[in-house]
Amino acid sequence: MQRLYFHPAALLMILVITTWSHAADQPPNIVFIFTDDHCEQALSAYDPSRITTPNLDRIANEGMRFDRCYVTNSICGPSRAVIQTGKYSHLNGFIRNGNRFNGDQQTFPKLLQANGYQTAVVGKWHLASTPQGYDYYDVLKGQGPYYNPPMITAGEDGQPITRKHTGYTTEIITDKLLNWMTEKREPNKPFMVMYQHKAPHRNWMPAPKYLNWLDDVTLPEPETMYDDYSGRTQAAGRQTMTMRQHLNPRDLKLQGHGTMTPEQIKVWDAAYGPKNEAFKKAEPNMSEKELLQWKYQRYAKDYLRCVKSVDDGVGQVLDYLDSAGLTDNTIVIYSSDQGWYLGEHGWFDKRWMYEESLKTPLLVRWPGHIKAGSTNDDIVSNLDFAETFLDVAGVEIPSDMQGESLVPLLEGHTPDDWRTSFYYQYYENPGGHNVARHYGVTNGQHKLIHFYALEGKKIDDWELFDLNQDPNELRSVFNDPAYAQVQQHMKSELNRLRELYAVAPDDDPGTAKRKPLRKQKLK
Ligand code: CA
């Protein structure tokens, strides 16, 4: 019997050709990297003044940076629901934190799954109901702590089970993502994976290795840190998210260890103990301004330390894609559920239609489609993500989704009829940080906001900003005669968009009260 003989070089060539043709035939893989509360001010591809994020910057350098990605409702759960559905909060039903996402409705992972994609979500979920449309899920229970998180996955019978973990949550989520990629991924199928961090959400607990990182640095203060809110309506002054008054001792690491083990506490106390001793000695002689400055440095550094671990994880994932030969046929998207105040206006938190929380980072790498190092200034949104993922996969976009595919923009061709104005609405009042319910419209040059409910009562306050003259939004020009025409134009644009997106004419201040879901579940 004659044995077939292939020269090693020929064998290699056959291998290369089959791999190449296989990859070329297969729809692109999708890696969606998502964080919670990460702002552009803490991502060096946008703003290098406070931190360097080399791995996130790699996505921008090898892909596209979007400079005007707006969220429809600047708060955690609702942003996630918008991404699942491609629909505004009032249509997907998840309008504020504490709601429960109706997973029976149409979502993009379900559509990808039905079209041959393997789908997975790892890390923060925060939609209360069990994930649907995923072949695999392993998600934090609720918000999830920074240390030793319980996580929910499907047991052998397919029912959700909770498993305990020991370690730092950001690192655990990265390990799980890499484990899914190496152990559970089906090489013959395209995949879509959502890699979602809790970080850098409040209360900003850094990893053991970064507890002392930045200790020797003094961070620059934002221009608007000493804002007195005098140029706007009552809402800006009535919030409860100031660094001055509303950061608590746990936020500032003056007390508490959360869910840490005794070993972790030892490491933690070795780092914060001496810093806190020094603060307690200095505090009696500090002026009010000096105390605010100290709070800003403490808070912002802990936030940046949490971002650092996210950046490390992103680097590990990008390296894995390289080593597995997946980079060329994989679109990598980086975004956060909304922007954030890293001391601007004296604040922490989000929620407002003001720029820092309206904008969210968006970086996309897609070899062969996106010109490396490009930027885009069009108005895009988390409302567009679901449509984009479907388009990338070659799946038809359902007509009831309300956003648009970003694929033409990624390929450098913005359609002539691309949106030039954007509708926003926030509902969570009464609620955390007491930000009034508001809706509004912006075109990037001007912004009109209507505050309509505060502390359970209807209000009727309007603000108009000229973003070219007043980029920090310190002085509303509503009813200023010089802006009469602009005001009229923005009002009619607001009405047009409310009609286009089927927004109910009236949102009663009593309709969106937090449902006691957790209590109900315990009965
Ligand atoms: Ca968030």
pLDDT in tens, 265-277: 999 999 999 999 9
**Cα 426 to ligand 1 centroid, rounded to whole Å:** 13
> What is the whole-number distance in angstroms between the Cα of residue 65 and the centre of ligand 1?
20
- State the distance from the centre of ligand 1 to the C-alpha of 287, rounded, in angstroms: 33
- Expressed in angstroms and rounded, the spacing between residue 484 Cα and the centre of ligand 1 is 36
pLDDT at 19 over 90: no
CA–CA–CA angle 122, 80, 259 (5° rounding)? 55
The candidate with the shortest Cα–Cα distance to 57, out of 365, 351, 266, is 365
pLDDT of residue 261: 98
Listing DSSP states for 101-136 in one string gives --TTS--HHHHHHHTT-EEEEEE---SSSPP-S-SE
pLDDT of residue 257: 97
pLDDT tens digits for range 397-413: 999 999 999 999 999 99
Range with the lowest mean pLDDT among 20-24, 217-221, 354-358?
20-24
Q: How far is the CA of 423 from the centre of ligand 1 (A)?
A: 19
Please identify every residue whose CB atom is under 5 Å from ligand 1, which is an ion.
36-37, 76, 337
Whole-number Å distance, alpha carbon 47 to ligand 1 midpoint, is: 20
Distance between Cα 35 and ligand 1 center (Å)? 8
Distance 342 CA to ligand 1 centre (A): 13
Q: What is the pLDDT of residue 519?
A: 36
What is the predicted pLDDT for the residue at 509? 61
Using the 3D structure, point to which of 410, 437, 461 is the last residue of a domain: 410
CA–centroid distance, 178 to ligand 1, in Å, is 24
Q: Which secondary structure element, helix H or strand E, spans residue 65, and what is its range?
A: strand 64-66
| Domain termination site, one of 410, 441, 473 | 410
Cα–Cα distances in Å, from 61 out to 14, 25, 366?
Answer: 34, 27, 11
Name the strand (E) or helix (H) holding 176: helix 169-179
| Mean per-residue pLDDT, 435-439 | 97
Calculate the CA 520 to chain-centre distance. Answer: 29
Q: Distance, CA 225 to ligand 1 centroid (Å)?
A: 21
Give yes or no: residues 272 and 366 share one domain: yes
Whether residue 364 is found in the same domain as residue 480? no
Give domain status of residue 301, yes or no. Answer: yes
Query: For residue 2, is pLDDT > 70?
Result: no
CA of 165 to the centre of ligand 1 (A): 23
> Residue 25 — pLDDT band, cuts 50, 70, 90?
confident
| Residue 509 CA to ligand 1 centre (angstroms) | 23
Q: What confidence tens digit (pLDDT) does each residue in 286-322 have? A: 999 999 999 999 999 999 999 999 999 999 999 999 9
Amino acid symbol at 61 = N
Query: Coil, strand or helix: which one is 275?
Result: helix
Residue-level pLDDT at 62: 98
Q: How high is the pLDDT of residue 16?
A: 44
pLDDT at 508 (0 to 100): 63
Name the percent of the chain lying above pLDDT 70: 92
Residue 142 lies in a domain: yes
Give the phi and the psi of residue 288 in degrees, each rounded to 5: -60, -40
Determine the pLDDT at residue 3. Answer: 47
Distance from residue 31's CA to the centre of ligand 1 (Å)? 20
Residue 7 has what pLDDT? 57
Q: What is the pTM of this model?
A: 0.93
Helix (H) or strand (E) holding 498: helix 484-500
515 pLDDT exceeds 60? no
- Position 465 scores a pLDDT of 98
For residue 523, the model assigns a pLDDT of 26
Q: How far is the CA of 201 from the centre of ligand 1 (A)?
A: 7
**pLDDT tens, position by position, 130-189:** 999 999 999 999 999 999 999 999 999 999 999 999 999 999 999 999 999 999 999 999
Do residues 199 and 170 both lie within one domain?
Answer: yes
In angstroms, rounded to a whole number, what is the distance separating the alpha carbons of residues 57 and 280? 38
Given a contact cutoff of 8 angstroms between Cβ atoms, the answer to whether 423 and 501 are in contact is yes
**How remote is the CA of residue 77 from the centroid of ligand 1, in Å?**
7
Cα 362 to ligand 1 centroid, rounded to whole Å: 15
- Provide the number of structural domains found in the chain: 2
Element (H, E) at 96: none
Distance 347 CA to ligand 1 centre (A): 15
Given a cut of 80, is residue 482 above it in pLDDT? Answer: yes
Contact (CB, 8 A) for 41 and 348: no
Task: Give me the domain span that covers residue 112.
Answer: 48-410
Q: Are residues 378 and 236 in the same domain?
A: yes
Query: What pLDDT score was predicted for residue 9?
Result: 53
Q: Say yes or no to pLDDT of 510 above 80.
A: no
| Domain assignment of residue 377, yes or no | yes
pLDDT at 4 over 90: no
Residues 129 and 223 in one domain: yes
- DSSP-derived secondary structure for 278-329: HHHHHGGG--HHHHHHHHHHHHHHHHHHHHHHHHHHHHHHHHHHHHTT-GGG
CATH number of the CATH domain containing 73: 3.40.720.10
Rounded distance from Cα 177 to ligand 1 centre (Å): 21
**Residue 287 to residue 463: CA distance in whole angstroms:** 34
Q: Which of 388, 410, 432 is the last residue of a domain?
A: 410
Longest dimension (CA), the chain: 97
Query: What 3-state DSSP class applies to 272?
Result: helix
pLDDT (tens digit per residue) in 319-346: 999 999 999 999 999 999 999 999 999 9
pLDDT category at 15 given cuts 50, 70, 90 is very low
CB 358 within 8 A of CB 51: no
The overall average pLDDT reported for the chain is 93
What whole-number distance in Å separates Cα of residue 243 and Cα of residue 351? 16
Assign residue 491 the CATH number of its domain.
Answer: 3.30.1120.10
Whether residues 283 and 385 share a domain: the answer is yes
If asked whether residues 380 and 463 sit together in one domain, one would say no
pLDDT at 54 exceeding the cut of 70: yes
Place of tokens 């799954």: 113
Residue tagged 């799946």 (tokens): 395
